[in-house]
Structure 1
Amino acid sequence: MELLPSLLSTLKSADPDSLDQEYSTVRSRTIALKKDLGLTSEDGALKENIKKNRYKDILPYDQSRVVLSPLTSDSDSDYINASFIKGASADNKYIAAQAPLSSTVTDFWRLIWQNNIKVIVMACREVEMGKKKCECYWSAPQQSIAFGPFTVYSQGETRPNEDLVIRNLTVTFQQDSRSLVQYQFLSWPDHDVPYEASGVLDLLERARTSQGARTSPLLIHCSAGCGRTGVICALDYIHDLLVTGQITADFSIMKIVLELRLQRPSAVQTKEQYQFVFTAVACLFQRVLRSASRPAYSNLPEGKKEERKKNTSSSDRLSLQTNMSDTYAVVNKSRHSQPPTTSPAYSVVNKPRSGSSSSNRTLPLSHHYDNDGPGSSAAPVYSTVKPRAKPLSQQHSATPIYDTATPANHRPGEGPIASKDNGEYQLLPADLPPPTDDDYEDVTCSAPGTASLCSPGGIGFNCRVQKPRGPRDPPAEWSRLER
C-alpha cells in the first residue's frame, strides 16, 4: 500500500508520446518472444477449423488454446478460438474468446459447460458500425432457446445504467441445469476506448462479486477476443496483484501486457487501448487509496454512499481527461473506398477538457495492428477533431461523444451528430450560450380566476398587456343614426 502513491504519481505523469513508443516496444518484443518460445497457431489454421475463426489473422496459440472435450458426440471437434490466460494468483484464471459465429454457438456453450463458467463479460455489441460482431447466444427474457443439445433460458435482464446490461441465464444439458450471469458492456467502441474508466472498473467489481470464491475461469470476450478483452484481463490482473499484496517497486504495466500477449495474440491491440490501461490503473489506485483513508463503505449511511459513488465517478472521469491527451470515439465510417495511404477510414471525435483551445484542427494518427504484413501501409486510419470547449454551465449535461453503432448512411435529422452541408457531414455546435434571465418576462394576472396570455398553454408573447376584464361601451359616434 505504501508504494501506491509513488506508482500513482508515475502513472499520472506518463507522457502519451512515451507510451506510444513503449507500445511499439511491446509489439516488437512480442514478435521476438513468439519466435523464441516457438508459439504456433497450427490448429486454428487447419482446413476444417479455419471457418470457425471470425478473423483469419487472429488465431489462438496452440500452447494456450482451450481444447474442447467431445460432449455431444465422438465426432465433435476440439477446436474453438479461445485461450486460457493465467491470473495473478491462479492458472487459467481467464478464458479470452472471440465472439461466437452462427456456426460456433454450440461450441461456445460446450466451452461454457466444460469449464463450468459462472460469469461472462461481453465487451461488445451484437452489431457495430453496421457489421455483425457477435452472434446472439442467449434468449429473450422469460424465453428459452436451443443451441444443439443445450437449452438456454433467460430469467430476465436488468440495465443498472446506460453502459451495462445484466442477464441471468440458465443452461440445461442432459437434464442437468446450471446458472450463470452475463455482463454486457455497451459503451466500448471497437479498436477504441471508453470515454471514462469508471464504467469498466465498476463492471469488473460486479463481475468479481458474482464470481465470488469460485475457481472456474472468468469468460471474457469481445468480437475478436484480443483488444478489448486484453484490456479487461490486464485490469483485473492488476486488481488481483493489489488485493494479494503482490505490487512491488518494479511494477510494470508493459511487462503485464507483454505476458498477456504471449497467451492470447494481440491482447491490448492498439496504442489507444494501451494508454487506457494506464489511465484505468491510475483510477484503480486512486480508489484504493481513498477507501484506505475513509470509513468502511458498508458502515456509511445511504446518503453518504450515494455521495461516495458520485465523487468516485467524478474523480475517475477527471483522471481520464487529465492523463490522456486524446479520447476517441468512432462516429462514422466513410462509404467510399479510399486508398489507405491518403484518407482516414474513420472520423473520430475528441472530447476536450475545459479550457481547451476553441480552434478546430485535425491530427493524423497512425493505427497499427500486430497482423500487419511486411511492407503494409502504416497510413493513419483515425483523425481527431477538437471542438470548442463547452461553457461551464453545460458541462454537467454532456452528450455521448461516440455512437457505437452508427451506420455509414446516417441521415440528417436522425440525431444530433451532424448536419449536412454540400454533401459532407460536419459537427453541430454544442456550445450555444444558455438563455439569460432577460430574454423573457413572466407576468401573472392580478385578477383571480381569469385567463392570462402568460398562463400555460397561452400563445401570447408580450405579457405586459393583460386581457380586458369585461366588455367596453362603444364610442358615442358609433351609435349615431344616419339620416
Structure 2
Amino acid sequence: MPPDDQTRVILSLLQEEGHGDYINGNFIRGTDGSQAYIATQGPLPHTLLDFWRLIWEFGVKVILMACQEMENGRKKCERYWALQQEPLQIGPFCITLTREMWLNPDIKLRILQVTFQKESRSVSQLQYMSWPDRGVPSNPDNVLAMVEKARHLQGSGPNPLCVHCSAGCGRTGVLCTVDYVRQLLLTQMIPPNFSLFSVVLEIRKQRPLAIQTEEQYRFLYHTVSQMFLSAIQNASPHYQNLKENCVPLYDDALSLWTSQNLNAIARPSSGVLRSISVPGPPALSMADTYAVVQKRAAPAGTGAGAGARARGTEDTPLYSQVTPRAWRHQALSEDARGAQQGRVPVDESLAGPGAYEDVADRAQTGGLGFNLRIGRPKGPRDPPAEWTRV
C-alpha cells in the first residue's frame, strides 16, 4: 500500500545518485500536533538502507515492531538489527547489539548501537513476538506495557517513534492509537466529546489503512477502555473498588459484548467516558425510596388565624418518601423498560449483510461514533470506501 502524499516521509540524507527520497512511511501527528509517529512498512531487502536513513535523519530513539521476520511460513520483514557478536553493516551504517532481553513472554527489547560517519547513537527496539498478522493479541496488557516502555525509553525529547509491522498498516495503527490516547490521558487533554472512532479516522487520514479489521478495532476499543478505567482508579481512592462492581473489561471480550448485565452498569455523567463505554463508578447504595424535604411557606401574619396556619404547617411532615418512577410503574411495556435501563433501540433497517453490528452488541455505547454502521473490511488492498473517505 503506497503512503499518502500529504504526510509522506521524505528522505534527504545521502541524497545522491542511487539514493532517492522515497520510503513507504507516513508521519502521524501526536496530541500536540507534532510529528509524533512514523508509521512505516517493515524493511525489505532493497529498503534496508532507506530504513536506517529514516532512523538517523529524524533522530529516532525507539522502534516499535509488531511482527516477526517469518509468519505462517512467509517472509514478513527483513532483519535490520544485529545479532550477538555479529555486527551488521548496511551501507554506511554499522549496527551492533549491546543488549537483548525479554520484558515479558511477548515482548523482546534490543538496545542497538548505530554508527554513521564516526557518530554513534543508541536506538532501542521493542518487538512484539506473538501478534498475528491482521489479528490481535490475547489481551491488552502487554500492548500497554509496550507503549509505556517505549515512552520510558524515549524520554521527553521531540523525536518521533518509529512504528512498523509488515505492511505498516493494521498492527501499526493499533499501536499508534493506543499511545495517542495514552498521551491524551497523561496530559489531561481528553475533550468532552472524545470519540475513539474519530481518533481512528484521523489517523487513517494520515496513514492509509491504519487499523484494518473489525477485530483490531474491537481490541483497540477495549484496550482504551482499560486505560480509562486505570486512570479513574488512580485519580481517586473513591474508585479503588471499581473493578469489583463492574463486568470485567477484557477477560472475555465476547461475554462483555453480550452480557445481560451490561445494561445495568451505571454510566458516568461525563461524555468523555461515556463515549468509549467505560463502566462508570458504582451508584450510591440507596433503598427503593428516598426522602424529600417539603418546602414550607413563611407565616403571613400573627393572631389566631396565623396560629392556625402555623399549626397546619407544622402538621405537614417535613419529609416525604418518594418512590422512584421505575418502581412506581411496574406495568410498563418492554420497550419502555428498555429505555429506562439505558438501552438504545437499534434501527434494524440500517443493517445489511455487509454491515457491522454495534460494538457493544446492542448495549448502549453512549455516543461512540462506531455506532455508525460501516462496511466489513475486505482486506488491505480492497478497503471499504467508508473507512477511507474523508
TM-score by length of 1: 0.51
- Tell me which residue corresponds to 1:145: 88
- How far residue 199 of structure 1 moved from its aligned partner, in angstroms, is 0.8
Secondary structure in 1 aligned to 2:206? coil
- Tell me which residue corresponds to 1:259: 202
Q: How far apart, in 2, do the equivalents of 1:320 and 1:155 lie?
A: 40
Q: How far apart, in 2, do the equivalents of 1:244 and 1:319 lie?
A: 30
Unaligned runs of 5+ in 2: 239-243, 259-374, 386-390
Q: 1:318 aligns with which of 238, 245, 251?
A: 251
Q: 1:71 to 1:324 in 2, by over 3 A?
A: farther
Q: How far apart, in 1, do the equivalents of 2:250 and 2:43 lie?
A: 33
Preserved CA contact (<8 Å) 2:82 2:95: yes
- Tell me which residue corresponds to 1:244: 187
- Tell me which residue corresponds to 1:190: 133
Secondary structure in 1 aligned to 2:45? coil
Q: 1:72 to 1:170 in 2, by over 3 A?
A: farther
- How far residue 324 of structure 1 moved from its aligned partner, in angstroms, is 5.4
Q: How far apart, in 1, do the equivalents of 2:383 and 2:256 lie?
A: 32
Deviations along 1:320-343, whole A, 9 cap, x unmatched?
464357xxxxxxxxxxxxxxxxxx
- Tell me which residue corresponds to 1:281: 224
Deviations along 1:168-197, whole A, 9 cap, x unmatched?
001101111100100001121110111101
Q: How far apart, in 1, do the equivalents of 2:16 and 2:174 lie?
A: 36
- Tell me which residue corresponds to 2:313: none
- How far residue 292 of structure 1 moved from its aligned partner, in angstroms, is 2.1
Matched, 1:91 2:34: yes
- Tell me which residue corresponds to 1:209: 152
Matched, 1:68 2:1: no
- Tell me which residue corresponds to 1:130: 73
Unaligned runs of 5+ in 1: 1-57, 296-310, 326-364, 376-483
- Tell me which residue corresponds to 1:226: 169
Preserved CA contact (<8 Å) 1:197 1:320: no
Q: 1:120 to 1:324 in 2, by over 3 A?
A: farther
Q: 1:106 aligns with which of 49, 52, 71?
A: 49
- How far residue 374 of structure 1 moved from its aligned partner, in angstroms, is 9.6
Matched, 1:368 2:368: no
Preserved CA contact (<8 Å) 1:279 1:324: no
Letter in 2 for 1:78: D
Secondary structure in 2 aligned to 1:184? strand
Deviations along 1:49-84, whole A, 9 cap, x unmatched?
xxxxxxxxx110111110011426344110000000
Matched, 1:116 2:49: no
- Tell me which residue corresponds to 2:365: none
Letter in 2 for 1:369: G
Q: 1:373 to 1:262 in 2, by over 3 A?
A: closer
Preserved CA contact (<8 Å) 2:214 2:376: no
Secondary structure in 2 aligned to 1:93? strand
- Tell me which residue corresponds to 1:389: none
- 113-122 or 134-143: bigger deviation: 134-143
Letter in 1 for 2:381: N
- Tell me which residue corresponds to 2:370: none
- 260-269 or 73-82: bigger deviation: 73-82
Deviations along 1:397-440, whole A, 9 cap, x unmatched?
xxxxxxxxxxxxxxxxxxxxxxxxxxxxxxxxxxxxxxxxxxxx
Q: How far apart, in 2, do the equivalents of 1:370 and 1:186 lie?
A: 22
Letter in 1 for 2:119: D
Letter in 1 for 2:230: R
- How far residue 276 of structure 1 moved from its aligned partner, in angstroms, is 1.0
Secondary structure in 1 aligned to 2:84? coil
Preserved CA contact (<8 Å) 1:280 1:320: no
Q: Percent identity?
A: 45
TM-score by length of 2: 0.63
Letter in 1 for 2:156: A
Preserved CA contact (<8 Å) 2:28 2:207: yes
Q: Give 4+ residue runs of structure 1 displaced > 3 Å after superposition.
A: 72-75, 319-325
Secondary structure in 2 aligned to 1:63? helix
